[in-house]
Homo-oligomer: A and B are copies of this chain.
Amino acid sequence: MSTLELHGKQMIGQSIAAAGEAGLYAANPASGERLQPAFHEATQAEADQALAKAAAVFDDFRARSQQARADFLEAIAEEIEALGDDLLTRAGAETGLPQQRLSGERTRTVNQARLFAQVVREGSWVDARIDRGDPQRKPMPKPDVRRMLMGIGPVVVFGASNFPLAISVAGTDTISALGAGCPVVVKAHPGHPGTSELVGRAILRAAQRCQLPDGVFSLLQGASHELGSALVRHPETAAVGFTGSLKGGRALYDLAVARPDPIPVYAEMGSINPVFVLPGALAERADGIAKGYVQSVTLGTGQFCTNPGLVLGLRGQPLDEFTQAVQEAAAQVTPSTMLHAGIRDAYRAGMERVRATPGVAVVGESAAAADDAKTQAGVSVFRTDEATLDANPHLMDEVFGPSSVVVDCQSPDGMERIARGLDGHLTATLHGTEADLRDYAALVRVLERKVGRLIFNGFPTGIEVCAAMHHGGPYPATTDSHFTSIGTAAILRFARPVCYQGFPDAALPEALRNRNSLGLWRLVDNELTREDC
């Protein structure tokens, strides 16, 4: 079967199933064209089978060496590359995203898999801790206690619509869960079922090449809430990864916490990513910041979790010059295709609600008209003031798409007051001089409590996949501020400690034996070391 001959069916481990109706089609948002084939919607029984298979192979999969799991992640990267440009063609047709962007996203996706492979192969992420016993200790002998992280169990992943490769079927949730030793059941995003099938097949080929047990990965298609709900409620599901809307993430969270045995839901639900343009920076380079800002707002047609939706600056001539530059940059933005008509409609409604708010003015818009037939959106930047923002809290809600609001603050205190009133966000950005940073140190302290990542003189879009990245933040940015969904620390979501007391060396997992044959960094009697013990 050529890569583009899609079967439109469920992949329950290595088995193909199609008990449900074949009623799900992808559509090309740039043309409105319905794309073939029809995809079967997964049934509840198929969801059961996928999770039963995942649960059945969990012990086998987690017992594989870290080396074996790393090989699997690298094989996934290779198999995705082997799909060639057919993958980008299908992804472009299903999402309207340009080929260049998708090519870059594919690079990020395979690099991400290879980076996790390195982390898993090196192995110290298991946080091995050894406290050696002392039978002579008084008044009580000291037991030998050792612990390490181990995979939490079968993980259900909900693919995101806006990154059809990097945060979807073989995205950060799947890769980090597999790396931790957890079987994965993905519910494909209904916006790109064909892309999902192609990537799912690549993962299954990789699993076969690596001789992994059948059930380590499954892919289900479907658009219904019932399917998502069944997956979250399933007794074998141990954790859930999700990237999407606040409404969707909260619904899954509410289901998970109401289970007889609650499970964690790691939902990344977006953010308005406020940008603070401080006076020194505004005086020095209003024009450059304005251009960078408009570019960041419109990246991916504003469909990133990190597009900046709010700018705060001090009222006055420098801010007027900034908005003038925004106006000029915005005019040049060519409208582009959104992921699908539903998102475009929601964007338009949100944007119109901002526009209709008394006290809000349009600052800049694309000069060219958006083509409705191509599901396009142009940029819209608005301007308002503190009092209007106070009176209209909805201006702080995320409008998913290329829209943003500039707020004239009365004073530094006003700016800090608005910061204090912020909900949790993924990021906050400061543009400033080093003197600004000193003058606004209190603002930085406030923002540390509000967000997961603070950016200085940059923009929040363009997330570096690395060890120090934190793509998370207090609710409602995510449902669990302890964890990141991007970067290598994402693996920690899907592992929990298991502790062994008094075990003979030979019966311990290799990572915890006296001889450190894996060369891990381990905390031995409170000292970090790579030595044997």
Contacts and interface: CB of A to CB of B under 8 A. Distances in A.
A476 B143 CA distance: 26
B262 A503 contact: no
A467 B504 contact: no
Interface residues of A, number: 78
Given A142-B464, A489-B497, A502 B261 contact: no
A261 B424 contact: yes
A469 B506 contact: no
Interface string A490-511: 0010011111111110110000
Given A424-B261, A501-B454, A496 B481 contact: yes
Interface string A419-440: 0000110000000001001100
Nearest to A262: B475
Contacts of A479: 262
Contacts of A453: 147, 498-501
Interface stretch (A13-21, A283-291, A443-451): A443-451
- For the residues of A in contact with B, the DSSP-based class is mixed
A451 B58 CA distance: 16
A438 B451 CA distance: 49
Nearest to A118: B526
A152 B502 contact: no
B484 A526 contact: no
A531 interface: no
23 contacts: A59-B445, A124-B528, A129-B468, A131-B466, A145-B464, A152-B481, A153-B449, A253-B262, A254-B257, A261-B424, A263-B475, A438-B507, A448-B498, A453-B500, A454-B503, A455-B501, A456-B502, A457-B502, A467-B526, A469-B499, A470-B498, A482-B492, A521-B528
Leading 8 A-B pairs by shortest Cβ distance: A470-B499, A129-B468, A257-B257, A453-B499, A131-B466, A145-B468, A481-B496, A261-B475
Given A434-B504, A438-B507, 4 more contacts: A131-B469, A152-B481, A455-B502, A470-B497
